[in-house]
Structure 1
């Protein structure tokens, strides 16, 4: 294991340095959820009523409700950004060079996944701090208990990004992923509105939201941010993360996956 640590450190450090050098990426990651928090929430506040549902013990503002969902948005877009960078690295040849390193392929992908998750968590905490400055407060202890939830959600969404990158043939196809993966996952979830509101309008859409892995990632973050735990959300997030990881490993396996088929 000690022989693999330098490789792990190098891959994670490469992801961090790439993120630092792309300052616009950090700003975009914060501007997107802040627009939802400060602009859209003002209009939705009157239209969407909120009842007292777990983990909340009293009525809350709409801004308080959507903060966990916006943290999930940051992790989701960060996972897709990782997917984009993987496709770019593959076209430039650096990804193929990485996968030929004298390390197990699963370890290289896991290192890449950890680097992306670390960056996503940093973005989430920066957003939580800014949201608190604008008056959206959560329990102080929740900023600590939410860390494991952010790690699990980040790993799950990052694994999804890895799996998707193995199926994208060209960089130009990434726009299709934005339309058919990211936005449906985000809007068909509990990120912006409670599921009971969705159930009132459509039972079918309600069950689609319930089966959406992103919904459970958001709920895991929501409960953790209020120093609580949703066992069901934890279970589904872990299972979805494991499934996406297996799919990513299959996709990057030259003997069976999509990498070999494109050669």
Structure 2
């Protein structure tokens, strides 16, 4: 039994120390539009400093457009059990545009369908005791399909002698991502691609007026085995959402 435990731990070491992904997914946007002229905007971030600025607008009673820009600059250890002297610095800038259909159901739930395109640039610099050991850099191109759904269930939290309406929803996104013009230390490498499935749930708390606090929790699954473009970065965000010009009622 004593010999078995170390072997089990060693089996997980390659997973914990393997090369991290060069793709940091932005949070799927769920504006939950209801009528022409409505605007939805949001600002989200997480513990990895992956920050996203998002906006959506209803061009018609059922046609909406959305866009987002995400930025990340993070300095961390190369591996969970590794030395603090072994660092990696990530720079990740990414933008998305999408267009789709939305409608409100009879019971006031909202369902949306979007398709879109994104592109960006990613760079990782690895170092030991301040000396650069490897630099990975490339461009990212992305196509995505997404479904958003606002659940009927809602609650009211009573805090500080006030009522805070709470609503819930879900989004499912499938993305095809390509890593292009990929280099390691300036030397050209083979391109990579992957298909990601990114299901999320979100909770919104009505704070003041049209301002809502939002928690996004989800996962990221890569359907292909890749070395540098894989699903090792989860979808988790905290943020603020503002909806202006929408129909009355929970959503």
Q: Same fold (TM over 0.5)?
A: no
Which structure has the larger Rg? 2
Which is strand-richer, 1 or 2? 2
TM (norm. structure 2) is 0.29
TM (norm. structure 1) is 0.28
